[in-house]
Chains A and B, each alone.
Chain A
Amino acid sequence: MEDNELFRRLREAIIEGDSEKLTLLVQGSIDKIDALEMVEKGMMPGMTEIGNKFSEGQVYLPELLMAADAWEEAMKILKPKLMASGASIKKQGTVVIGTVQTDVHDIGKNIVANLLTSAGFDVHDVGSDAPATEFFNKAEEVGADIIAASAIMSTTVPYQKDIIDLLESKGLRDKYIVMVGGGVVTREWADKIGADGYGELASDAVDVAKKLVAKKKGA
């Protein structure tokens, strides 16, 4: 198969969310084609296209996640090759994500983590019922760009402010981008507590994260 034909099929498999087809293509080509090229010329354009289709309302969250799932399956095969060759996919940024203290809802948060990972972010998940210190310590450890905090209920959403208060108390507020989201979270709340970013839906997170990182790096 010619390289361009392979890249086209890789892109299509991502758009179709076809994990099986993508895995077969990758396995069949991994010894002949450069792993980084397969990612950058085939899979990434596929993720970009499905992201655009989602933004335009042509597909919905399940299709976006099917693409993300297919990406993850393929990356299990490609990662060892990439590491062996010393190549690395251009990272969009590093994110520490979790559900705040006293809140154990995590399905939405996990979906956001999956979407960010397949969009090229390096994601570190501190789990649920995570106190502000846990977000902070992990962010310091991994050199995060973004701290993303989820809260679903009116009783737990105040703990999102704890993270911002902790950063301010350490004089490190400007070091991290803080994004918030979850069932009861609104733009008004995000603005009130001084968060940098807010997403109404899980699917908003990738665009918001990309814009905030680009803004920070451009600053």
Chain B
Amino acid sequence: MGTDFFVFDVIPAKVDVEKVLMQLGYPPEACLSPRSRENIEVQMAETLRLVDPKGAYLLLEGTGQKGFDLFSEAEGIVLALSTIGPAVEQRARELINTEHGAAGLIVDAIGSVAAEQTADFLERKIRQDCTGWGWKVSRRYSPGYCGWQIEGQREIFKRFPDTLGIKLTNSCLMIPEKSLSFACLLSTNGNFGKVKLSGCKKCKKKDCPDRLEPFIV
């Protein structure tokens, strides 16, 4: 294994309508008007044709990986990048800039869900492969969340030069924007070591399913 580098350029494009509705701010009990529902269905059909999901991952074996102090006790780290390509956000922009704000908002929401579900696919693939190699795999962590500073992107991107067409700006923004990066920790016995993340205490998202520490008002 060592520093194996795996690229997936054919990932099924998948978007759950319920997740798109959540992304748009509709609560589960919301009753959409026929016009709203039609708008969403039309944009779903059009946008799925623009989604171009790709992913790549890389294994770093051994504790104390340079640049990943938060995860220094883990026996290994898997770093991953995924994207749905630039076409969806370009389409969203075009729509918003031509007074089709509702359609643009819907397309953007579809893109966000597609990007997240592409990362979900990649995470499942990582889990499947690494489990087959005898590893236990943690949940995924992304820079900018849960106390991992956004500057952590730079360490991930050092390991993925010119990969999947994703660039990192000086302000740590990924281009295309509908891209995700993350790390999963590896262990032989299920103990991933102390993960030095402490953002949850102050995070306002009280109902986050991934909350690691109680919310403190």
Interface residues of A (CB under 8 A from B): 16-18, 60-63, 65-66, 68-69, 72-73, 102-107, 110-111, 114-115, 152-156, 186
CA distance A184 to B180 in the complex (A): 17
Contacting residues, chain A, for B25 (C-beta < 8 A): 60-61
CA distance A17 to B34 in the complex (A): 11
A63 touches B24 (CB 8 A): no
B189 CB–A CB distance under 8 Å: no
B210 CB–A CB distance under 8 Å: no
Contacting residues, chain B, for A156 (C-beta < 8 A): 171, 173
B173 touches A104 (CB 8 A): yes
Contacting residues, chain B, for A69 (C-beta < 8 A): 99-103
- Beyond contacts A69-B103, A154-B149: 15 other A-B pairs, Cβ-Cβ < 8 A, are A62-B105, A66-B35, A68-B101, A68-B102, A69-B100, A102-B169, A104-B169, A104-B175, A105-B173, A110-B93, A111-B104, A114-B101, A153-B144, A153-B150, A156-B171
Contacting residues, chain B, for A61 (C-beta < 8 A): 24-25, 105
Interface residues of B (CB under 8 A from A): 24-26, 30, 33, 35-36, 39-40, 89, 92-93, 96-97, 99-106, 108, 144, 149-151, 169-173, 175, 177, 204
B89 touches A107 (CB 8 A): yes
CA distance A184 to B26 in the complex (A): 22
Closest to A61 in B: B25
CA distance A68 to B103 in the complex (A): 12
In the complex, which of the residues B35, B36, B99 has the most CB atoms of chain A within 10 Å of its own CB atom? B99
Contacting residues, chain A, for B103 (C-beta < 8 A): 69
B99 touches A114 (CB 8 A): yes
A66 touches B99 (CB 8 A): no
Closest chain B CB from A170 CB (angstroms): 26
Query: Could you say which of B36, B39, B96 contacts A111, with CB atoms under 8 Å apart?
Result: B96
B36 touches A155 (CB 8 A): no
CA distance A147 to B26 in the complex (A): 30
Contacting residues, chain A, for B204 (C-beta < 8 A): 186
Closest to A107 in B: B108
A110 touches B97 (CB 8 A): yes
Contacting residues, chain B, for A111 (C-beta < 8 A): 96, 101, 104-105
Contacting residues, chain B, for A72 (C-beta < 8 A): 99
A65 touches B105 (CB 8 A): yes
Contacting residues, chain A, for B105 (C-beta < 8 A): 61-62, 65, 107, 111
A62 touches B99 (CB 8 A): no
Closest to B99 in A: A72
Closest chain B CB from A21 CB (angstroms): 10
Cross-chain pairs A/B with CB under 8 angstroms, 20 sampled: A17-B35, A18-B35, A61-B105, A62-B24, A62-B36, A62-B40, A65-B105, A69-B103, A73-B99, A102-B170, A104-B169, A104-B175, A107-B108, A110-B96, A111-B104, A111-B105, A114-B96, A153-B172, A153-B173, A156-B173
Contacting residues, chain A, for B89 (C-beta < 8 A): 107
Closest chain A CB from B98 CB (angstroms): 9
CA distance A176 to B99 in the complex (A): 28
B99 touches A102 (CB 8 A): no
B24 touches A60 (CB 8 A): yes
Contacting residues, chain B, for A60 (C-beta < 8 A): 24-26, 30
CA distance A154 to B173 in the complex (A): 10
Task: Given the known inter-chain contacts A69-B101, A107-B104, please indicate yes or no for A155 contacting B151, CB distance below 8 A.
Answer: yes
CA distance A107 to B169 in the complex (A): 18
A62 touches B144 (CB 8 A): no
Contacting residues, chain A, for B100 (C-beta < 8 A): 69
B170 touches A62 (CB 8 A): no
Contacting residues, chain B, for A110 (C-beta < 8 A): 93, 96-97, 101, 104
